[in-house]
Amino acid sequence: MRILIRTLLVCLSLIAAQAFAGSGADYSTTATESSTGESQSPFPFEFDAEYTYIGDSDAERGFRKVRDFDENYLSARALYTPRIAVGILRLGAAYERYEFGLPAFSLVHTLPLIPGEPRGFLVGRPQIPGTLQSVSAVIGLDTRFSDSILFRIEAQPGFYGTRNLSGDTFNVPVVLGGTYIYNTNLQFILGASIDYERKYPVFPGGGVRWRFASQWVLNAALPTPRLEYEVNNNVTLYAGADVKGSTFRVSDDFGVARGDRRLNRAILTYSEIRTGAGVDWKITPDLKLSVEGGYLPYRQFDYYRADVRYTQRDAAPYGSVAFRAAF
C-alpha cells in the first residue's frame, strides 16, 4: 500500500508538470538559462558529480556519544534535457552516498576524571548507519509563464536507504521552484521541497540573486547561499554555505543490533550544513570545475518518529571537488 501511494504521487507530479511548467532547483541560474532561445545540441544533456571528504568529529545524544568519525560524500546526476513545446524536459538518474567511518563501539558518558575529557564505557555498535545512499530517477519539466516568471517541477522517485536498498526504502521527493526576473541584475527565487517521509513534509526555500556591482553577485538562495566575485569570464571566487541532507529508511533489524528496537525500519532524516569558500573554473563554456574547502559546523541524525537524534558536537574541516557539464 505504501509503495502504491508513492507511485500515485509520482503520477500526480507528472500531471502537475504538464499543467504548470518549470525553472530550477538552482533556481535562478537554471531558470535563466532554460529560458534562452539558443539552438540546442542534437543530444542535450547535463552531468554533474561531486566528491567531498569531511574530517573527524563527534556526535552526541544525551549521555551517548559516537566519537571520531569522518565522512566521504559522493553524488552524481545525468540528465537528458530535450526542448518540447511547453518547456524543457529533465529525464535521467541520480546517485548520492554518505559514507561514515564509524568506530566499532559508541560510549556512554560518566563523570570525567580529567577536566575536558569524558570518561565512559563501551555500549555496543553506534546507532548511526555507516552508509546512507539513494538511487533515483529524475522526472521534471522547466517552463515559463511569461518572459519574467519561470517554473520547475521535478520528481525524484527512487530508493533511499542504507547499505542494502529494498522496496521498503522507496520514496518520491518532489522539488518545486520558481524565479521572477525583475531585470538582468535582480531575480527573486521561491521554492519548496516535498518529502512524504520527512518530519516536516514541506520545506520552503528560495531567496534572491542580485548583481550589485559589475563583478559581485549576492546569490542568497537556499540550499547554497553565497557571495560571488567574478575574477574574469572563466574564474569566479565565492564564499557561503551549502545545506545538504535527505530522508532514508534503515534496515529491519537495525535497532535490534544496536540495543533499541524503536530503530528497526526507522526513518532517519540526515542533515548537514557546510560553510566555506571556493573557486569555479570554466574550462570551456560547457564544462566547469569547482574546488571548495571549509568547515562543517552542524550535522544531525534524526530518527524523529522514535525520538532519537544525534547532533554533532564540534566543527569538522572538509574539502570538495565538483564537475559539471551541460551541452
The confidence score (pLDDT) of residue 265 equals: 95
Q: How far apart are CA 178 and CA 309, in angstroms?
A: 33
The confidence score (pLDDT) of residue 201 equals: 92
Q: How far apart are CA 119 and CA 159, in angstroms?
A: 40
The confidence score (pLDDT) of residue 115 equals: 63
- Please tell me the total count of domains within the chain: 1
Instruction: Give per-10-residue mean pLDDT for the chain (327 aa).
Output: 38 34 36 47 92 96 91 98 95 98 82 60 88 98 94 97 92 96 96 92 92 96 95 97 95 91 95 98 97 98 96 95 96
Residue carrying C-alpha cell 545545506: 243
**Amino acid symbol at 214:** S
The confidence score (pLDDT) of residue 40 equals: 66
In terms of Cα–Cα distance, which of 259, 243, 325, 318 is closest to 289?
325
**pTM, whole model, 2 decimals?**
0.85
Locate 201 and state its grid cell. 513534509
Element (H, E) at 3: helix 2-19
The confidence score (pLDDT) of residue 112 equals: 59
Count of beta carbons in the 10 Å neighbourhood of residue 251: 20
Locate 136 and state its grid cell. 533515483
DSSP string across 53-89: EEEEEEEEETTEEEEEEEEEEEEEEEEE--EETTEEE
Domain that holds residue 156: 2-326
